[in-house]
C-alpha cells in the first residue's frame, strides 16, 4: 500500500512537469517556439528575448491553419557558437547555424533573421493562390533559324566549302530541322579541258540531346541530304552539261552554345555515305571524268536565331 501511495503521488507531479514544459513553449505567429541552451551557451539570449523580437517582426503575419513546431538548441565550443534548428509539422527540416565569437551576438542576429524568413516563407505558402502550371522555356517548343558555313571533303570534290540554312524545331531533347545547302563550283582537270562540278539540294536533320544545360547542349544527329549534282565540261569540242541526283545519309555529333536566350552558336560534324555512285563522262573520252566519293565529311559552324 505504501508503494502504491508513493507512485500515485509522483505520477501527477511528473505529468504536471511534462505539461508545464509543453506549455512553456513561446507562441509566435505561425509557430510554437522553444529554445534551450547548454551551459557553454548560457551567455546567449533566452527564449523569451528571442521570442519577443520575433513577435514584433511578425506582428502583421496571418495565422496559418496549422502551426509549426520550431525547436532551437544553442551550444558553444571554443569561440564558435551554434544553433541547431529543428522544424516539425506540415513542414519538416533541420538546419545548423554557426558563428564565431567572442560573444553570442553574431549567432543571435543570424538566428533571428533565419527564423523570421522561415515563418514568412511559411505564411506565403498558406496565403499564395494556386497558379496553373506554366510551361517553362526549357520544355516549350521553339523555332530557330540556323545559317552556317562548313568545311567539307567530297562535297562535291576534295576539300571544299559549303553554305547552309535551315529551320529547326527545338523540343526538350530533340531538334528536327529542314533546310538547304549549296556547294560552290569546283573544277577538275580533265585534259584537254576541265569539268566544273557544283551541288545544291535539301537537308533533313534529327538531333537528340544527350546532355542539355542552360548554356550548353550536346547530342548526336542523323542527317539525310538529297542534292542535285551539276557537271559542265569546259574546253572540249562539245561543252555539254549534265545533272545527277545525289543521296547522302550520315551521323555525327553536335555542340550548341546558347550565347543568349534568342541566340546560339552550333558546331557539328557528320560522316556521310552515298549508297550509289554518281559520275560524269565526256564524249569521246574513256572512263569517268568525275565520280562521287562513297564517304564524305562535313564540319559546320552555324549561328541560330530564335524566331518563335
CATH code assigned at 92: 3.30.160.100
Domain closes at, from 127, 157, 173 = 127
Confirm whether 148 is domain-assigned: yes
Structure letter (DSSP) for residue 66: S
Confirm whether 3 is domain-assigned: no
- Which has the closest alpha carbon to 47: 81, 17, 73? 73
Structurally, the chain folds into a number of domains equal to 2
**pLDDT for residue 22:** 39
**pLDDT for residue 269:** 96
Considering the domain architecture, whether residues 88 and 216 belong to the same structural domain is answered as no
Confirm whether 132 is domain-assigned: no
Confirm whether 15 is domain-assigned: no
pLDDT per residue, tens digit, the chain (308 aa), is 344 444 344 444 443 443 333 346 788 888 899 999 999 999 899 999 999 998 888 887 767 778 889 999 999 988 889 999 999 987 888 999 999 878 899 999 999 999 988 887 765 555 444 444 443 444 468 999 999 999 999 999 899 999 999 999 998 889 999 999 999 999 989 888 899 999 999 999 999 999 877 789 999 999 999 999 999 888 888 888 899 999 999 999 999 999 988 999 999 999 999 999 998 888 777 788 899 999 999 999 999 999 99
Considering the domain architecture, whether residues 289 and 162 belong to the same structural domain is answered as yes
**With b meaning 16 or more CB within 10 Å and e meaning fewer, what string describes 162-178?**
bbbebebebeeeebebe
Considering the domain architecture, whether residues 192 and 286 belong to the same structural domain is answered as yes
Q: Are strands 80-88 and 93-100 parallel, antiparallel or unpaired?
A: antiparallel
**pLDDT for residue 89:** 85
| φ, ψ dihedrals at 166, nearest 5° | -160, 160
Number of C-beta neighbours around residue 76 at 10 A: 19
Confirm whether 68 is domain-assigned: yes
Considering the domain architecture, whether residues 290 and 164 belong to the same structural domain is answered as yes
Confirm whether 5 is domain-assigned: no
Domain closes at, from 73, 103, 127 = 127
Residue 74, CA distances (Å) to 104, 154, 218, 243 in order: 10, 74, 49, 86
Confirm whether 17 is domain-assigned: no
**pLDDT for residue 27:** 86
Is the omega angle on the peptide bond into residue 102 within 30 degrees of 0, that is, cis? yes
| φ, ψ dihedrals at 14, nearest 5° | -65, -45
**pLDDT for residue 21:** 39
**Domain boundaries, position 107:** 24-127
Considering the domain architecture, whether residues 229 and 294 belong to the same structural domain is answered as yes
**pLDDT for residue 2:** 42
**Using DSSP, how many helices (H) and how many strands (E) does the chain show?**
3, 15
Considering the domain architecture, whether residues 32 and 99 belong to the same structural domain is answered as yes
- In CATH, what number is assigned to the domain containing residue 201? 2.40.160.20
Considering the domain architecture, whether residues 77 and 159 belong to the same structural domain is answered as no
Q: Which three cell numbers stand for residue 83?
A: 544553433
Output helix, strand, coil percentages for the chain, rounded to the nearest 5. Answer: 20, 55, 30
Considering the domain architecture, whether residues 156 and 262 belong to the same structural domain is answered as yes
Considering the domain architecture, whether residues 104 and 233 belong to the same structural domain is answered as no
Considering the domain architecture, whether residues 121 and 197 belong to the same structural domain is answered as no
Give the H/E segment covering residue 223.
strand 216-234
Whether this model's pTM surpasses 0.75: no
**pLDDT for residue 124:** 56
Structure letter (DSSP) for residue 39: G
Domain closes at, from 127, 151, 177 = 127
Considering the domain architecture, whether residues 295 and 188 belong to the same structural domain is answered as yes
- CA separation for the pair 244, 195 (Å, rounded): 14
Confirm whether 241 is domain-assigned: yes
Considering the domain architecture, whether residues 82 and 225 belong to the same structural domain is answered as no
| φ, ψ dihedrals at 49, nearest 5° | -70, -45
Amino acid at each position: 500500500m505504501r508503494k502504491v501511495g508513493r507512485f500515485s503521488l509522483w505520477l501527477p507531479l511528473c505529468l504536471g512537469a511534462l505539461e508545464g514544459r509543453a506549455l512553456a513553449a513561446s507562441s509566435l505567429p505561425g509557430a510554437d517556439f522553444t529554445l534551450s541552451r547548454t551551459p557553454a551557451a548560457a551567455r546567449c539570449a533566452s527564449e523569451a528575448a528571442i521570442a519577443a523580437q520575433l513577435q514584433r517582426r511578425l506582428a502583421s503575419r496571418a495565422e496559418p491553419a496549422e502551426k509549426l513546431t520550431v525547436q532551437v538548441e544553442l551550444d558553444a565550443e571554443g569561440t564558435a557558437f551554434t544553433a541547431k534548428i529543428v522544424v516539425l509539422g506540415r513542414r519538416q527540416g533541420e538546419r545548423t547555424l554557426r558563428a564565431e565569437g567572442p560573444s553570442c551576438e553574431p549567432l543571435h542576429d543570424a538566428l533571428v533573421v533565419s527564423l523570421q524568413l522561415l515563418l514568412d516563407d511559411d505564411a506565403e505558402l498558406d496565403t499564395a493562390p494556386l497558379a496553373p502550371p506554366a510551361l517553362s522555356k526549357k520544355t516549350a517548343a521553339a523555332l530557330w533559324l540556323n545559317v552556317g558555313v562548313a568545311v567539307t571533303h567530297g562535297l562535291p570534290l576534295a576539300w571544299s566549302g559549303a553554305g547552309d540554312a535551315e529551320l529547326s524545331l527545338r523540343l526538350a531533347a530533340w531538334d528536327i530541322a529542314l533546310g538547304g545547302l549549296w556547294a560552290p563550283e569546283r573544277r577538275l582537270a580533265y585534259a584537254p579541258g576541265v569539268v566544273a562540278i557544283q551541288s545544291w539540294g535539301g537537308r533533313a536533320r534529327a538531333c537528340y540531346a544527350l546532355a542539355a544545360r542552360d548554356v550548353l547542349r550536346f547530342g548526336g544527329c542523323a542527317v539525310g541530304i538529297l542534292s542535285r549534282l551539276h557537271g559542265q565540261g569546259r574546253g572540249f569540242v562539245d561543252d555539254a552539261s549534265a545533272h545527277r541526283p545525289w543521296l547522302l545519309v550520315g551521323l555525327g555529333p553536335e555542340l550548341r552554345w546558347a550565347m543568349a536566350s534568342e541566340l546560339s552558336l552550333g558546331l557539328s560534324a557528320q560522316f556521310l555515305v552515298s549508297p550509289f555512285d554518281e559520275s560524269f563522262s565526256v564524249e569521246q573520252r574513256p572512263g569517268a571524268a568525275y565520280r562521287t566519293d562513297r564517304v564524305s565529311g562535313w564540319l559546320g559552324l552555324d549561328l541560330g536565331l530564335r524566331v518563335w
